[in-house]
């Protein structure tokens, strides 16, 4: 990259030198001008002098614009090579070497935000908060990928101008589905859209990490701070495969709002505002499912024993009751999720405790040093804070009964409870 930058700067210098010499030569000739020559023996009139000055000014302006273009190309090549498509893209490393994401000068990494949109003109609420809270347009470019071809939604996205990049999923046809899945056509289209949009981010634009958001999410003030801080964990700890801004059991009253800095590992893929590396997309893309992509992510074949990072207090909340799920869980759980409203300086904190070995030593010690009590004992004095306690469940039915009694989400996906880690659900 340094060689390319040097060549670009050398070309710019030679270009300017040549044009400077040319202008000096033209100005130094008696009666010379960049335009047509006056007849012999004539004198330059004031109008001709004015035209000569204007021509020279225009020429200098053109040279300045060309120089700026050369400088921008050199800077783009040097500081963000991942954005320049190549005919033969380098294959990602798959061994123990951690790939560096971002700028070789040591600046903060570039992490695009991919917003998946369809036919919700309320995407404005999502984009307004993203643009309001992002600390840098260069470090967090926003790409809105629209499916469905909905004109009103397209107009809303276009109203942001250059603040966002608007791309459109080209295939709007129905997906061929099994007869028994006819009513699930929407889930098939969503999965197709995800595959296409993630392919654009990682293949066409060649970013090395991305934050994925849907058009019905509102983000917290420290949304970007959180993801910037946890990115190095994903690079360093291969037992992590994503970081999510969402807490499935993040309802008011079930979280410790006063400790918004708390982060956990979870075996459950939360989604709803999540970060992944390009290496993970290299792994998932060839086998991407035709439908129900999020539940597919929760299967053991995809998870492969890996965990995600998730917060105690959600950094996203959903306002999208209407959708292909027809409001499933929304009225009972999702609309009560507490969105964090306090900025936590995660990038200034030591998050190494989330690495697998260190985390399991500390977390499991805390869990099993807490006294075990029965549900009835907890319900007798629900307002009394006696410190951490442990309720033990034994099997699926036992878990579901406890979860319902406590107001937690009681469903399991591939045997994993929401927000759980090694079978432990904290609240």
- Residues designated catalytic: 294
Angstrom distance (rounded) from CA 195 to CA 285: 7
Residue linked to tokens 């020279």: 56
Give the containing element (helix H, strand E) for 57: helix 46-79
Radius of gyration of the chain (CA): 29
Taking phi first (over 0 means left), then psi (-120 to 50 degrees means alpha), and beta for anything else, what does residue 129 get? alpha
> What's the half-sphere exposure (Cβ side, CA atoms, 13 Å) at 350?
4
Widest pairwise Cα distance in the chain: 112
The residues pairing with 144 across neighbouring beta strands, listed in sequence order, are 115, 166
Phi, psi torsion values for 335, nearest 5 degrees: -75, -10
E strands, 169-224, are 209-214, 217-219
Minimal CA–CA distance to 392: which of 425, 416, 363, 427? Answer: 425
CA distance 282 to 64: 42
Q: Would you state the structure tokens that stand for residue 425, as one six-digit string?
A: 């659900």
* Rounded-to-integer distance, Cα 114 and Cα 117, Å: 10
Q: Which residues pair with 244 in a beta bridge?
A: 274
Overall size of the chain counted in residues: 427
Token output for 154: 């397209």
| DSSP one-letter code for 201 | I
How many angstroms separate the CA atoms of 81 and 390, rounded? 50
Of 188, 314, 298, 203, nearest in space to 242 by CA: 298
Opening angle at CA 261, ends 255 and 265, nearest 5: 75
Q: Residue 417 and residue 419: Cα distance in Å, rounded?
A: 6
- Provide φ and ψ at 357, rounded to 5°: -60, -45
Distant-in-sequence, close-in-space partners of 266: CB < 8 Å, separation ≥ 6: 244, 307, 308, 309, 310, 419, 420, 421
Angstrom distance (rounded) from CA 218 to CA 129: 7
């Amino acid at each position: 990259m340094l060689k390319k930058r040097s060549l670009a700067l050398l070309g710019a210098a030679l270009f300017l030198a040549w044009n400077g010499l040319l202008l000096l030569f033209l100005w130094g000739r008696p009666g010379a001008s960049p335009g047509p020559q006056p007849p012999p023996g004539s004198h330059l009139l004031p109008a001709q002098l004015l035209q000569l000055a204007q021509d020279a000014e225009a020429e200098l302006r053109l040279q300045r614009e060309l120089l700026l273009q050369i400088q921008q190309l050199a800077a783009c090549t040097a500081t963000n090579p991942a954005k320049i498509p190549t005919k033969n893209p380098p294959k990602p490393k798959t061994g123990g070497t951690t790939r560096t994401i971002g700028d070789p000068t040591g600046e903060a990494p570039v992490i695009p935000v991919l917003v998946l949109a369809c036919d919700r003109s309320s995407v404005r609420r999502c984009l307004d908060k993203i643009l309001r809270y992002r600390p840098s347009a260069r470090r967090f470019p926003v790409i809105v990928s629209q499916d469905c071809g909905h004109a009103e939604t397209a107009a809303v996205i276009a109203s942001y101008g250059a603040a966002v990049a608007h791309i459109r999923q080209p295939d709007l046809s129905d997906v061929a589905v099994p007869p028994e899945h006819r009513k699930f056509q929407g889930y098939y289209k969503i999965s197709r859209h995800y595959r296409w949009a993630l392919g654009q981010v990682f293949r066409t634009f060649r970013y090395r990490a991305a934050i994925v958001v849907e058009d019905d999410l509102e983000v917290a003030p420290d949304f970007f701070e959180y993801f910037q801080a946890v990115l190095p964990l994903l690079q360093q700890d291969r037992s992590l495969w994503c970081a999510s801004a969402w807490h499935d059991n993040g309802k008011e009253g079930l979280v410790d709002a006063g400790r918004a800095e708390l982060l956990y590992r979870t075996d459950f893929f939360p989604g709803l505002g999540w970060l992944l590396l390009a290496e993970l997309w290299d792994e998932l893309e060839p086998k991407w499912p035709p439908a129900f992509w999020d539940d597919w992510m929760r299967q053991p074949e995809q998870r492969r024993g890996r965990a995600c990072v998730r917060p105690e207090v959600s950094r996203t909340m959903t306002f999208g009751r209407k959708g292909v799920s027809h409001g499933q869980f929304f009225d009972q759980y999702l609309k009560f999720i507490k969105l964090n409203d306090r900025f936590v300086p995660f990038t200034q904190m030591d998050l190494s405790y989330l690495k697998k070995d260190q985390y399991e030593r500390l977390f499991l010690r805390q869990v099993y040093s807490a006294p075990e009590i029965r549900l009835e004992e907890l319900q007798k004095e629900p307002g009394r804070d006696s410190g951490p306690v442990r309720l033990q469940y034994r099997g699926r039915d036992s878990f579901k009964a406890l979860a319902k009694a406590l107001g937690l989400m009681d469903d399991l996906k591939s045997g994993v409870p929401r927000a759980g880690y090694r079978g432990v659900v904290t609240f």
